[in-house]
Amino acid sequence: MTGDNAAAASPAPPLVPVLAVVGVGLIGGSFAAALRASGAVGRVLGVGRQAASLAKARALGIIDEAATLERAGQEADLIFLAAPVGATASILAELKPFLRPQALITDAGSTKANVVAAAREALGERIGQFIPGHPIAGAEKTGPEAADPALYRQRTVVLTPLAENSSAQKAALTQMWERCGARVVSMEPGVHDAALASVSHVPHLLSSVFMWQVATAQDSDLRMALAGSGFRDFTRIAAGSPEVWRDIFLTNRPAVLAELQEVKAALERAEQALQNADGPALQDFLERAALARRFWGSRSGYHE
């Protein structure tokens, strides 16, 4: 009786007894913080290349301790990769020999076809333990100090599951993201990559190219002194991590190049209308863009 009572009084074990986060910046730190805030994790291990970031993450209570990939593989029930996508293959290859049989690995990479190929190569027969994912949140802020348990609330998380993933694992990962407040959708990696090339990667390229061009102009000081809130918004993404975005462009190269051709064709049309001083054509295209943007803004759930 006493034993039964004690069992009844002890709390249920957390959904994830040990979570390992590889990369303790905005994305990884926010995932850990959100799961911890919801009571879904026991202990959090942090893995990273920069000792200062790990110390910061620990001081902020985002992780309980810093660990090697080896220890993360040996102890973690869930391993969350939040490193630049170009590092996925080497991280998985290093993890593989130590991985517990029931452990689940997922990632937060902004490109998926390339990550799937890298994971298959690195994990071999253990590929079923990896469910590729991409939370659509955050970007321009970096570092553990930017981590926010509310980052994923009302945000979309795309999973691109593999044939080898079990239904139970997919359900478990979906549940974890839902504990972070996110909405989970599933699709093929190629569909994800083409859509993200359009709405994320090409805008980042255009914003960065534009910022580069203004910054390298002879009269850049004058220009920037006259830049206002439109400039601020249009160029905000250009402040994002160069390393992260280099990897995104390289790993989603065909989709980005293809989408860029479409945008350039649209730009040619607008430029032609301007060259012709064709007011009605300009207004028509500006109206369609404005209506589409206002409609998106009213339905996206993003705070303007």
Q: How far is the CB of 16 from a copy of itself (least distance, A)?
A: 25
Q: How far is the CB of 122 from a copy of itself (least distance, A)?
A: 20
Listed in sequence order, the DSSP H helices in 76-112 are 88-95
Amino acid letter at 286?
L
Q: How far is the CB of 50 from a copy of itself (least distance, A)?
A: 18
Please report, to the nearest 10 degrees, the dihedral formed by the alpha carbons of residues 114, 115, 116, 120 taken in order: 110
Question: What is the DSSP secondary structure assignment for residue 49, as one 8-state letter?
Answer: S
**76 or 255, CB closer to a copy of itself?**
255
Q: Which two tokens stand for residue 165?
A: 């993933």
Q: Residue 59: name the closest of 46, 70, 69 by CA.
A: 46
**2 or 232, CB closer to a copy of itself?**
232
Q: How far is the CB of 249 from a copy of itself (least distance, A)?
A: 6
Amino acid letter at 156?
T
**54 or 197, CB closer to a copy of itself?**
197
Q: Residue 22: name the closest of 97, 109, 100 by CA.
A: 109
Q: How far is the CB of 51 from a copy of itself (least distance, A)?
A: 23
Question: What is the DSSP secondary structure assignment for residue 12, as one 8-state letter?
Answer: P
**127 or 157, CB closer to a copy of itself?**
157
Task: Provide the 10 A C-beta neighbour count for residue 297.
Answer: 12
C-alpha span between 110 and 90 (Å, rounded):
17
Q: How far is the CB of 11 from a copy of itself (least distance, A)?
A: 36
3-state secondary structure of 158: strand
25 phi and psi, to 5 degrees?
-85, -150
Q: How far is the CB of 221 from a copy of itself (least distance, A)?
A: 10
C-alpha span between 131 and 230 (Å, rounded):
39
**17 or 254, CB closer to a copy of itself?**
254
Beta strands 156-159; 133-135: pairing state: antiparallel
**165 or 207, CB closer to a copy of itself?**
207
3-state secondary structure of 157: strand
**77 or 193, CB closer to a copy of itself?**
193
